[in-house]
Amino acid sequence: MNAHKGIWTALKVLAVLLVPVLLWLVLSHIGFGRVIEAMRRASARAILIAALLYLAVFVLWTLRWQLLMKRKERKSIAALLPIYMAGIFGNMVTPGARVGGEPVRAFYMSRAFGGEKSAHLGVVLVDKLGNGAVFMLFLVASVIFIALSIPLGTAVKAGLAGGALLATAVTVGGLLATDKAKLRSHLVGRILPAIYGSALLRFVRRTFPTYDHFESYVTRKLRNVFGPMAHAAGSPKALAKILLISAVSWLLFYLAHYVLFAELGARIDFVKAAVIVTVASFLGDASFTPGGAGFTEAAMIGLCAAYGVDADAAAAVTLISRGLFYAYGLGLGALCLGALAALYGRRAQE
């Protein structure tokens, strides 16, 4: 088992190392001089507009998160945005599923405003699920558009469709998991007694003197996590707000890329720009690299080529847009995380 795990880990490390090499080969094939010249053609005004659109996306995501909180517990956008950006940093540096940012947000919400971390985590997970559900709709639409507009091989189209369906299934599964009554019944009836009575988990009985204490603790944590999901799913008004804000934020994200395409003279309409960004983002999220680095850029350049965009313009838009994303996620996100650690780190240690 350990040998298989070691081999799998080595393969993932190899993939992480090979992707930057692949991106370098793609850029070198286009010509670094051509790419740099194309980037220079982008005016400061266009880059500023794209940067402001990116900022609007992060503010909207923070607003969606705020609306999911109970009215009496809501904090201002100014207070929540640094915590949200710290979570973006956590997600960007986490390989694979990139879920490192959610515990970061829950932790600093608890430190800054009180309350249990599990309760804050429940709200954070609903926020992530709502955003993911809307993205899946855009992804499925993008895959259908590609299948109809690009003469790809059957195997490639089948792979894209399979990936989209898998991602949709995961999202639907998350929505079904909000049925906390069934989940609690299954846990209380079968799993929790087995855990408490297990000979291998004696530390559980040392921590909780009676089974009632143990059951009460676990169900409270589950209620904290799944309660916001059930509330959002059971409130059409709240659900509509979440989905609407998510949709608008993604459209602004696509618009930021479209502005850059237009600035560099790429003859591509808004819909195709949205399709390119959606599929490239999905491939980046499905990759092993932190923040999808390498996979996202290579996918964007490849999809641009499929739609006839000049290679130098495609590479320039990709590098500028991803540079802005890294500037916010890694730059601003790291600053916010550092500030939060300085403010609440001492209390955390205590």
Cβ of 218: how many Cβ atoms within 10 Å? 18
Q: What is the pLDDT of residue 176?
A: 46
Task: Please enumerate in sequence order all residues whose Cβ is within 8 A of that of 78, keeping only pairs 6 or more positions apart, or say none.
Answer: none
Write the DSSP symbol of residue 159. Answer: H
Alpha-carbon distance of 273 to 259, in angstroms, equals 10
Q: In angstroms, what CA-CA distances link 348 with 88, 123, 344?
A: 21, 21, 6
What is the value of pTM for the model shown? Answer: 0.73
Alpha-carbon distance of 144 to 248, in angstroms, equals 21
Q: What is the pLDDT of residue 103?
A: 85
Q: What is the pLDDT of residue 106?
A: 87
Per-residue pLDDT for the chain (350 aa), expressed as one digit of tens each? Answer: 455 555 555 555 555 555 566 555 555 555 556 556 656 777 889 899 999 999 999 999 999 988 888 778 788 899 999 999 999 998 887 765 456 788 888 888 888 888 777 778 777 877 887 788 888 889 888 888 887 776 666 666 666 666 666 555 555 554 444 444 444 555 555 666 666 566 655 665 666 666 665 655 555 555 544 545 555 545 677 778 888 999 999 999 999 999 999 888 888 889 999 999 998 888 877 766 666 667 787 888 888 888 888 878 888 888 888 888 889 988 999 999 999 988 886 444 44
Q: Are 105 and 91 in contact (CB under 8 A)?
A: no
Alpha-carbon distance of 312 to 35, in angstroms, equals 5
Angle (CA) 268-327-26 rounded to 5° is 50
Q: Are 255 and 270 in contact (CB under 8 A)?
A: yes
Residue found under tokens 């979440």: 242
Query: What is the CA 260 to chain-centroid distance, rounded?
Result: 23
User: Residue ranges per domain, the chain?
Assistant: 47-349
Q: What is the pLDDT of residue 86?
A: 92
